[in-house]
Amino acid sequence: MLQRTLSRRHIASLALAFAGLCAAANSNAASAGAGSCPPQPTPPSRELMLKAQQQATDRGFLWRISRNGRDSYLYGTIHAGRPEWFALGPRAEASLFRTGVLALEIDVTDPAVQSTLQDATQGPPRALPAELMQSLRAAWAAECLPAADLDRGAPEFHVSQLAVAQAQRQGLFPLYGAESVLLMRSLGGQRPVVGLETAQTQLSAILARSDDEAADMVREALAELQRPKANQGLARLARAWETRDFKDIEAYAEWCDCLNSPNEREAYARLVDGRNPGLADAIERLHADVSVFAAVGALHMVGPQGLPRLLQGKGFKIERVY
C-alpha cells in the first residue's frame, strides 16, 4: 500500500505486513550479531497488553458516518505500531463496540485470502539483472533475512520486507499495528471481520506489471535505503498518526518528496486514490445492513478522492470524532 521518504514499497509493505507477508522479517532473522540486526517484536503478552491499556490514548483519525438512521465509523490507521500502542483509546474502543462488524482492507482471517497471499509471495521469482540481484542480496543479508527466501516470490515483496526491517529499526512493528489490535478486540468479542476488497485487488495495485517495472522498483528501493534521510518520512507519518495531526497527513504530498515525476504520481494514484472508490462502495454496501467499523490506511482519508469525501458524496453525514 510511491518512492523517496515514504515510497511505494513502504506503503505496500505496511499495508500487507500485518497479513503475514513479512513473517520472515519478523521471525526468521539470521544469527548475525544482535547489534546489527533489526530488533524483533515479542509476542503480545498479558503484561504488555495491560501496560498498553493503562496508558491507552486515542491515536489515528476517526469519523462517524451516518445514513438512514444508522451510525458507522471510519478509522484511519497505519499498519505498524509500537508495543505501547497495543490498545485502543477510549473513543475508538467505544466506537468499535457500537458496531456489528469490523471491516479491514482485506480479511486476513479468510483462508482464501491467506492462500492468495501465500501464492503471491511463494511463487516463482521474477528474473532480475545479475548486478541488481547482487545488490538485493547484499541488502537482504544486512537485514539478517534468510538468503533462501530470495529464491521464491516477487522481488516487490522482497523490498517490502526490507522496508519492514527499516521500520523495525525505528521500533515500528506490523505485529503491533492498529489492525492487529482491532482484530484481537473483535475476534475476542465475537465480532465478525470482513474485507473491503479482495486480496487480488490489493495485489494488482502493488505488484509490478512487467519484469522491467519490477526491476525499476527494486533499483529505486535499494537506492532509497542508502539515503541518509530515508527513514524520516516514515517517522513523520507515525508521529502524525500518534498525535492525531491530520493536517500533516493532508500535507503529505508537500513533504513526502515522493510525487516528483509522472511515474511516481501514477503509482500513488493506483495504490491509494485508485482503490478508494471500491473501498467506499464496500463500506456503503455493509452499512446498508449493519453498523460497520471500517479501518483503512490513513492516506486513504486525504483529499477530494479520500474516503470521507467519497462517502459524503454518497449521502453520508460525516462527523470527525478526532
pLDDT at 69: 98
pLDDT at 61: 98
For residue range 189-205, list pLDDT tens digits in order.
999 999 999 999 988 88
Q: What is the rounded distance in angstroms from the CA atom of residue 136 to the CA atom of residue 162?
A: 10
3-class state of residue 159 by DSSP: helix
Residues 236 and 176: beta-carbon distance below 8 Å? no
What does each C-alpha distance from 265 to 76, 83, 205, 262 come to in angstroms?
Answer: 22, 34, 13, 5
pLDDT at residue 31 is higher than 60: no
Q: Tell me what the pLDDT averaged over the chain comes to.
A: 87
Residues 180 and 19: beta-carbon distance below 8 Å? no
pLDDT at residue 242 is higher than 90: yes
pLDDT at residue 209 is higher than 60: yes
Q: What is the rounded distance in angstroms from the CA atom of residue 172 to the CA atom of residue 242?
A: 12
Q: What is the rounded distance in angstroms from the CA atom of residue 252 to the CA atom of residue 105?
A: 21
- 166 contact partners, CB below 8 Å, separation of at least 6: 38, 143, 225, 230, 231, 234
- 109 contact partners, CB below 8 Å, separation of at least 6: 183, 187, 193
Using alpha carbons, select from 275, 100, 244 the residue that is nearest to residue 178.
244
Dihedral over alpha carbons 298, 59, 143, 260 (to 10 degrees): 30
Percent of the chain with pLDDT over 90: 65
Q: What is the rounded distance in angstroms from the CA atom of residue 198 to the CA atom of residue 249?
A: 26
Residue 306 cell numbers, joined: 479520500
pLDDT at 62: 98
For residue range 47-69, list pLDDT tens digits in order.
999 999 999 999 999 999 999 99
Q: What is the rounded distance in angstroms from the CA atom of residue 10 to the CA atom of residue 151?
A: 22
